[in-house]
Amino acid sequence: MLTITPYFHRFSELTSQFLLQAESTMFSNILMPITGLYLTGTILYIAYFITLRELTVKAAKIIMFPGLVAHAWFLYRLGIMESRFPMATVYEAMSFFVLFLILIYIYLEYTTKNKTIGAFVFPIVMLFQTISALNLEITSVDQTLFKSTLFGVHTFTAIVGYSAFVFSMILGVMYLSMFYEIKKRRFIFMYDRLPPLEMLDSMNSKSQVIGFIFLTIGILTGVIWAKRAWTDFSFFDIKILLSWFLWLLYLGSIIGRKLFGWKGRRTAYLSIAGFVVLLFTFVFVSLIFSSIHNF
Protein backbone atom coordinates (compact mmCIF):
# COMPACT_ATOMS: atom_id res chain seq x y z
CA MET A 1 0.00 0.00 0.00
CA LEU A 2 2.72 2.38 0.92
CA THR A 3 4.42 1.98 -2.44
CA ILE A 4 1.27 3.16 -4.27
CA THR A 5 1.26 6.59 -2.60
CA PRO A 6 3.92 8.26 -4.78
CA TYR A 7 2.15 7.00 -7.92
CA PHE A 8 -1.17 8.28 -6.69
CA HIS A 9 0.48 11.59 -5.93
CA ARG A 10 1.97 11.87 -9.39
CA PHE A 11 -1.32 10.84 -10.94
CA SER A 12 -3.33 13.52 -9.17
CA GLU A 13 -0.65 16.06 -10.06
CA LEU A 14 -0.91 15.20 -13.73
CA THR A 15 -4.70 15.21 -13.61
CA SER A 16 -4.93 18.65 -12.12
CA GLN A 17 -2.37 19.93 -14.59
CA PHE A 18 -4.42 18.48 -17.40
CA LEU A 19 -7.63 19.96 -16.08
CA LEU A 20 -6.07 23.39 -15.72
CA GLN A 21 -4.69 23.22 -19.23
CA ALA A 22 -8.03 22.04 -20.56
CA GLU A 23 -9.84 24.76 -18.74
CA SER A 24 -7.46 27.37 -20.08
CA THR A 25 -7.86 26.13 -23.63
CA MET A 26 -11.60 25.92 -23.20
CA PHE A 27 -11.59 29.33 -21.71
CA SER A 28 -9.94 31.05 -24.62
CA ASN A 29 -12.06 29.19 -27.15
CA ILE A 30 -15.42 29.04 -25.46
CA LEU A 31 -17.04 32.04 -27.05
CA MET A 32 -17.59 30.64 -30.51
CA PRO A 33 -19.33 27.46 -29.34
CA ILE A 34 -21.52 29.57 -27.06
CA THR A 35 -22.40 31.77 -30.01
CA GLY A 36 -23.19 28.68 -32.03
CA LEU A 37 -25.57 27.40 -29.36
CA TYR A 38 -27.25 30.79 -29.10
CA LEU A 39 -27.62 30.95 -32.87
CA THR A 40 -29.29 27.53 -32.99
CA GLY A 41 -31.61 28.60 -30.20
CA THR A 42 -32.48 31.80 -32.02
CA ILE A 43 -33.40 29.92 -35.17
CA LEU A 44 -35.56 27.57 -33.14
CA TYR A 45 -37.36 30.42 -31.42
CA ILE A 46 -38.10 31.97 -34.80
CA ALA A 47 -39.31 28.56 -35.95
CA TYR A 48 -41.60 28.45 -32.94
CA PHE A 49 -43.01 31.84 -33.81
CA ILE A 50 -43.90 30.63 -37.29
CA THR A 51 -45.13 27.12 -36.56
CA LEU A 52 -46.16 27.33 -32.90
CA ARG A 53 -44.90 23.77 -32.41
CA GLU A 54 -44.01 23.26 -28.75
CA LEU A 55 -41.14 20.95 -29.63
CA THR A 56 -39.12 23.73 -31.25
CA VAL A 57 -39.18 25.93 -28.18
CA LYS A 58 -38.35 23.01 -25.88
CA ALA A 59 -35.38 22.15 -28.09
CA ALA A 60 -34.31 25.80 -28.10
CA LYS A 61 -34.16 25.88 -24.31
CA ILE A 62 -32.28 22.60 -24.03
CA ILE A 63 -29.69 23.77 -26.55
CA MET A 64 -29.26 27.25 -25.14
CA PHE A 65 -29.02 26.32 -21.50
CA PRO A 66 -25.46 24.91 -21.58
CA GLY A 67 -24.45 27.96 -23.61
CA LEU A 68 -25.82 30.21 -20.91
CA VAL A 69 -24.01 28.34 -18.18
CA ALA A 70 -20.75 28.41 -20.11
CA HIS A 71 -21.21 32.11 -20.79
CA ALA A 72 -21.72 32.94 -17.13
CA TRP A 73 -18.74 30.80 -16.17
CA PHE A 74 -16.61 32.53 -18.77
CA LEU A 75 -17.32 36.01 -17.45
CA TYR A 76 -16.80 34.87 -13.90
CA ARG A 77 -13.42 33.33 -14.72
CA LEU A 78 -12.41 36.36 -16.69
CA GLY A 79 -13.09 38.51 -13.69
CA ILE A 80 -11.14 36.20 -11.42
CA MET A 81 -8.23 35.94 -13.83
CA GLU A 82 -7.84 39.63 -14.31
CA SER A 83 -8.90 40.50 -10.78
CA ARG A 84 -11.41 43.01 -11.95
CA PHE A 85 -14.99 43.31 -13.11
CA PRO A 86 -15.24 41.75 -16.56
CA MET A 87 -16.48 44.95 -18.19
CA ALA A 88 -13.39 46.96 -18.97
CA THR A 89 -13.46 46.76 -22.74
CA VAL A 90 -16.35 47.37 -25.13
CA TYR A 91 -16.61 43.74 -26.00
CA GLU A 92 -16.48 42.50 -22.46
CA ALA A 93 -19.25 44.88 -21.54
CA MET A 94 -21.21 43.69 -24.56
CA SER A 95 -20.79 40.08 -23.51
CA PHE A 96 -22.10 40.90 -20.07
CA PHE A 97 -24.91 42.81 -21.70
CA VAL A 98 -25.92 39.76 -23.75
CA LEU A 99 -25.97 37.58 -20.66
CA PHE A 100 -28.18 40.07 -18.92
CA LEU A 101 -30.56 40.32 -21.85
CA ILE A 102 -31.03 36.58 -21.80
CA LEU A 103 -31.71 36.57 -18.07
CA ILE A 104 -34.30 39.30 -18.44
CA TYR A 105 -35.90 37.37 -21.28
CA ILE A 106 -36.16 34.24 -19.15
CA TYR A 107 -37.99 36.28 -16.53
CA LEU A 108 -40.28 37.79 -19.15
CA GLU A 109 -41.15 34.45 -20.68
CA TYR A 110 -41.86 33.03 -17.26
CA THR A 111 -44.21 35.82 -16.19
CA THR A 112 -46.11 36.26 -19.46
CA LYS A 113 -46.12 32.55 -20.37
CA ASN A 114 -45.61 33.74 -23.90
CA LYS A 115 -42.79 32.18 -25.89
CA THR A 116 -43.23 34.03 -29.15
CA ILE A 117 -41.46 37.11 -27.74
CA GLY A 118 -38.25 35.13 -28.11
CA ALA A 119 -38.39 35.52 -31.88
CA PHE A 120 -38.03 39.27 -31.37
CA VAL A 121 -35.50 39.22 -28.56
CA PHE A 122 -32.97 36.65 -29.68
CA PRO A 123 -32.03 38.19 -33.03
CA ILE A 124 -31.02 41.32 -31.12
CA VAL A 125 -29.14 39.16 -28.63
CA MET A 126 -27.38 37.42 -31.51
CA LEU A 127 -26.34 40.74 -33.03
CA PHE A 128 -24.50 41.78 -29.90
CA GLN A 129 -23.21 38.31 -29.13
CA THR A 130 -21.66 37.97 -32.58
CA ILE A 131 -19.94 41.35 -32.39
CA SER A 132 -18.68 40.58 -28.92
CA ALA A 133 -17.52 37.03 -29.60
CA LEU A 134 -15.64 37.94 -32.75
CA ASN A 135 -13.76 40.78 -31.12
CA LEU A 136 -13.31 39.94 -27.49
CA GLU A 137 -9.71 39.55 -26.46
CA ILE A 138 -8.56 38.69 -23.01
CA THR A 139 -6.32 41.62 -22.24
CA SER A 140 -5.07 43.16 -19.12
CA VAL A 141 -6.01 46.73 -18.67
CA ASP A 142 -4.66 49.35 -16.36
CA GLN A 143 -5.61 47.76 -13.07
CA THR A 144 -6.13 50.70 -10.83
CA LEU A 145 -8.74 52.33 -12.99
CA PHE A 146 -10.94 49.30 -13.29
CA LYS A 147 -10.68 47.79 -9.91
CA SER A 148 -12.71 50.39 -8.07
CA THR A 149 -16.19 49.56 -6.86
CA LEU A 150 -17.48 52.75 -8.35
CA PHE A 151 -16.41 51.57 -11.76
CA GLY A 152 -18.18 48.31 -11.14
CA VAL A 153 -21.38 50.05 -10.13
CA HIS A 154 -21.18 52.43 -13.07
CA THR A 155 -20.73 49.77 -15.71
CA PHE A 156 -23.19 47.40 -14.12
CA THR A 157 -25.99 49.94 -13.84
CA ALA A 158 -25.29 51.22 -17.33
CA ILE A 159 -25.60 47.71 -18.73
CA VAL A 160 -28.79 47.00 -16.78
CA GLY A 161 -30.21 50.29 -17.99
CA TYR A 162 -29.33 49.55 -21.59
CA SER A 163 -30.85 46.07 -21.33
CA ALA A 164 -34.08 47.58 -20.09
CA PHE A 165 -34.08 50.00 -23.02
CA VAL A 166 -33.49 47.19 -25.48
CA PHE A 167 -36.49 45.36 -24.09
CA SER A 168 -38.48 48.55 -24.14
CA MET A 169 -37.75 48.85 -27.86
CA ILE A 170 -38.69 45.23 -28.53
CA LEU A 171 -41.93 45.65 -26.61
CA GLY A 172 -42.59 48.83 -28.56
CA VAL A 173 -42.10 47.04 -31.87
CA MET A 174 -44.41 44.24 -30.76
CA TYR A 175 -46.99 46.73 -29.58
CA LEU A 176 -47.01 48.50 -32.93
CA SER A 177 -47.27 45.26 -34.92
CA MET A 178 -50.14 44.01 -32.78
CA PHE A 179 -51.82 47.40 -32.87
CA TYR A 180 -51.78 47.61 -36.65
CA GLU A 181 -53.04 44.10 -37.13
CA ILE A 182 -56.00 44.69 -34.86
CA LYS A 183 -56.70 48.18 -36.14
CA LYS A 184 -56.46 47.22 -39.79
CA ARG A 185 -58.25 43.92 -39.22
CA ARG A 186 -55.46 42.11 -41.01
CA PHE A 187 -54.80 39.07 -38.87
CA ILE A 188 -51.55 37.77 -40.23
CA PHE A 189 -49.10 36.81 -37.54
CA MET A 190 -49.16 38.94 -34.47
CA TYR A 191 -52.81 38.62 -33.56
CA ASP A 192 -52.42 34.93 -32.81
CA ARG A 193 -49.06 35.08 -31.16
CA LEU A 194 -48.37 38.18 -29.16
CA PRO A 195 -49.47 39.11 -25.65
CA PRO A 196 -52.37 41.56 -25.30
CA LEU A 197 -51.81 45.18 -26.30
CA GLU A 198 -52.33 46.58 -22.86
CA MET A 199 -49.80 44.16 -21.40
CA LEU A 200 -47.20 45.08 -24.02
CA ASP A 201 -47.76 48.75 -23.29
CA SER A 202 -47.51 48.44 -19.51
CA MET A 203 -44.40 46.25 -19.75
CA ASN A 204 -42.84 48.81 -22.05
CA SER A 205 -43.55 51.59 -19.61
CA LYS A 206 -42.11 49.58 -16.71
CA SER A 207 -38.97 48.83 -18.72
CA GLN A 208 -38.53 52.50 -19.46
CA VAL A 209 -38.83 53.42 -15.80
CA ILE A 210 -36.37 50.73 -14.70
CA GLY A 211 -34.00 51.68 -17.49
CA PHE A 212 -34.25 55.32 -16.57
CA ILE A 213 -33.45 54.71 -12.90
CA PHE A 214 -30.42 52.59 -13.72
CA LEU A 215 -29.26 55.00 -16.40
CA THR A 216 -29.42 57.87 -13.92
CA ILE A 217 -27.29 56.00 -11.40
CA GLY A 218 -25.00 54.91 -14.18
CA ILE A 219 -24.40 58.41 -15.48
CA LEU A 220 -23.88 59.88 -12.05
CA THR A 221 -21.46 57.21 -10.86
CA GLY A 222 -19.75 57.42 -14.22
CA VAL A 223 -19.19 61.13 -13.93
CA ILE A 224 -17.83 60.83 -10.39
CA TRP A 225 -15.53 57.98 -11.27
CA ALA A 226 -14.28 59.61 -14.46
CA LYS A 227 -13.39 62.81 -12.67
CA ARG A 228 -11.15 60.80 -10.41
CA ALA A 229 -9.73 58.64 -13.15
CA TRP A 230 -8.94 61.12 -15.87
CA THR A 231 -7.55 64.60 -15.41
CA ASP A 232 -8.74 66.01 -18.69
CA PHE A 233 -12.29 65.03 -18.19
CA SER A 234 -14.87 67.29 -19.73
CA PHE A 235 -18.61 67.38 -19.33
CA PHE A 236 -18.90 68.07 -23.02
CA ASP A 237 -17.39 64.81 -24.15
CA ILE A 238 -19.56 63.60 -27.01
CA LYS A 239 -20.32 60.27 -25.43
CA ILE A 240 -21.44 61.83 -22.20
CA LEU A 241 -23.57 64.41 -23.98
CA LEU A 242 -25.31 61.69 -25.89
CA SER A 243 -25.95 59.81 -22.67
CA TRP A 244 -27.64 62.88 -21.23
CA PHE A 245 -29.69 63.21 -24.39
CA LEU A 246 -30.81 59.62 -24.00
CA TRP A 247 -31.64 60.37 -20.38
CA LEU A 248 -33.77 63.36 -21.36
CA LEU A 249 -35.59 61.35 -24.01
CA TYR A 250 -36.72 58.71 -21.56
CA LEU A 251 -37.49 61.33 -18.95
CA GLY A 252 -39.73 62.95 -21.53
CA SER A 253 -41.47 59.68 -22.26
CA ILE A 254 -42.10 58.96 -18.60
CA ILE A 255 -43.34 62.45 -17.82
CA GLY A 256 -45.44 62.48 -20.96
CA ARG A 257 -47.09 59.29 -19.82
CA LYS A 258 -47.67 60.41 -16.27
CA LEU A 259 -48.80 63.98 -16.96
CA PHE A 260 -50.15 64.06 -20.49
CA GLY A 261 -51.47 60.55 -20.86
CA TRP A 262 -49.10 59.64 -23.68
CA LYS A 263 -49.60 55.93 -23.95
CA GLY A 264 -49.71 53.18 -26.53
CA ARG A 265 -48.14 54.22 -29.78
CA ARG A 266 -46.32 57.27 -28.41
CA THR A 267 -44.55 55.19 -25.79
CA ALA A 268 -43.71 52.64 -28.45
CA TYR A 269 -42.26 55.19 -30.86
CA LEU A 270 -40.22 56.80 -28.09
CA SER A 271 -38.79 53.46 -27.06
CA ILE A 272 -37.67 52.82 -30.62
CA ALA A 273 -36.17 56.30 -30.87
CA GLY A 274 -34.36 55.70 -27.60
CA PHE A 275 -32.89 52.50 -28.92
CA VAL A 276 -31.65 54.24 -32.06
CA VAL A 277 -29.91 56.88 -29.95
CA LEU A 278 -28.49 54.14 -27.74
CA LEU A 279 -27.14 52.26 -30.73
CA PHE A 280 -25.64 55.43 -32.14
CA THR A 281 -24.04 56.25 -28.81
CA PHE A 282 -22.53 52.87 -28.43
CA VAL A 283 -21.43 52.05 -31.93
CA PHE A 284 -20.93 55.10 -34.04
CA VAL A 285 -19.15 57.16 -31.48
CA SER A 286 -16.62 54.45 -30.76
CA LEU A 287 -15.84 54.11 -34.42
CA ILE A 288 -15.87 57.69 -35.62
CA PHE A 289 -15.29 60.13 -32.83
CA SER A 290 -12.40 59.97 -30.52
CA SER A 291 -13.53 60.30 -27.03
CA ILE A 292 -12.03 60.03 -23.63
CA HIS A 293 -14.79 57.60 -22.87
CA ASN A 294 -13.39 55.12 -25.30
CA PHE A 295 -16.46 52.99 -25.38
Partner 1 sequence: MIAIIGLNYKSAPIEVRERFTLTEDEAADLAKDILEFDEVHEAVVLSTCNRSEAYFVTSKSCASSFLNLVMQRIIEFRNFDESYTRYFYSYFEEAAVRHLLKVSAGLDSMVLGENQILGQVKTAYRISSSRKFTRSTLNKLFHKAFEAGKKVRSDTRINEGATSLSYAAVELAGKLYGNMANKNVLLIGAGETGELVLQSLYERNARSLFVTNRTFENAEKIADKYKGTAIRFEKYEDQLMNSDIIVSAVTVKEPLLTTEQVISILKRRNNPMLLFIDLSHPRSIDSGLKELETVFLYDLDDLNEVVAHNYRKRKNEIIKAEELLESYVSDFFEWYNALEFVPVIKMVQDVTNTIKINEIEAVRDTLNDAEIKKIEIFAASFAKNMQNTFIKNIKNLTKNRSYNQDTFETLSALFYPDSAKVSTGSAKDEQEN
Binding residues (CB under 8 A) for partner 1: these are 52, 178, 182-183, 185, 187, 191-192, 195-199, 261, 263-265
Alpha-carbon distance of 171 to 117, in angstroms, equals 9
Looking at the Cβ atoms of 112 and 135, the one nearer to partner 1 is 112
Buried b (16+ CB within 10 A) or exposed e, 281-293: bbeebeeeeebeb
Largest CA distance in the chain: 85
Which residue type sits at 146?
F
In whole angstroms, the minimum distance from the beta carbon of 206 to partner 1 comes to 14
Provide, rounded to whole angstroms, the least separation between the CB of residue 183 and partner 1. 7
> Could you tell me which residues come within 8 angstroms of residue 67 by beta carbon, excluding any fewer than 6 positions away?
33, 34, 36, 37, 38, 41
Cα dist. 55→41, 58, 101, 244 in Å?
Answer: 12, 5, 23, 45
Q: Which of 71, 81, 62, 137 is nearest to 102 (CA)?
A: 71
CB of 272 to partner 1, least distance (A): 17
Nearer to partner 1, 46 or 268 (CB): 268
Q: Is 69 helix (H, G, I), strand (E, B) or coil?
A: helix
**CB-based contacts of 47, cutoff 8 Å, min separation 6:** 53, 56
Q: Between 36 and 196, name the residue whose CB sits nearer to partner 1.
A: 196
Residue 173 or 178: the one with the smaller Cβ distance to partner 1 is 178
Nearer to partner 1, 135 or 202 (CB): 202
Q: For the CB of residue 263, give the shortest distance to partner 1 in the complex, in Å.
A: 6
Instruction: Return d(Cα 294, Cα 285) in angstroms, integer.
Output: 9
Shortest gap between Cβ of 200 and partner 1 (angstroms)?
A: 9
To the nearest whole angstrom, how small is the minimum distance from the Cβ of residue 255 to partner 1?
A: 17
- Judged by beta carbon, residue 2 or residue 185, the one nearer partner 1 is 185
